[in-house]
A and B are shown apart, each in its own frame.
Chain A
């Protein structure tokens, strides 16, 4: 079965510094990987995805993620953090079920706090 791990419950970064939110995965076959962000009292918003191609994927709000097959990782990054980036971040992997139906398997989430 597919699985996703976000090893950090919380990440603290000073505004202007680079940030990394970690995600590792376990899948059979080629992974379809996603990052979502959740602001307080809101639904989840799609940030970016990796399907195939370049290992560096660019997404919304200046975020990017690096797919590393040998380390089975898909870390989320941003060169310069903003206070407004403070939110809950979720990594997910697509799991294909029978009859072409699928689900997303979710990490537990990482709370990102950007301090001014």
Chain B
């Protein structure tokens, strides 16, 4: 999983500021997933993207959160007007393009830990 790069690893924001989290998938991977994790808890799915396309955003809060995966550059998870409840670890995972040869394994980054003061 060393190939999925997330930055920043740690981010501190004050309430009302914006947080931008970046994810560069493994080379050759065109699918990106974002998850949120609270301490000692499981993964909560947020959004699933392909290049220039959102496949599934059913886990994204309706307000303040957005995600993109442009043709060039990393995927970005953006949180506007952060609140204390947004404090969590945000993980990105990538996978190759889908198809019958793809077994479904995901490759994870080390996460970005957001702290809202």
Binding site for B on A (CB under 8 A): 32, 34, 36, 41-46, 49, 51, 88, 90, 94, 97, 99-104, 106-109, 111
Contacts and interface: CB of A to CB of B under 8 A. Distances in A.
Contact of A100 (B41, B43, B98, B106): B98
A49 B103 contact: yes
Contact of B40 (A43, A51, A99, A111): A111
Contacts of A103: 33, 45, 48, 56
Contact of B103 (A51, A97, A106, A107): A51
Contacts, number: 66
Given A36-B108, A101-B48, A108-B41, 9 more contacts: A43-B109, A44-B106, A45-B108, A46-B1, A49-B105, A94-B103, A94-B104, A101-B55, A101-B56
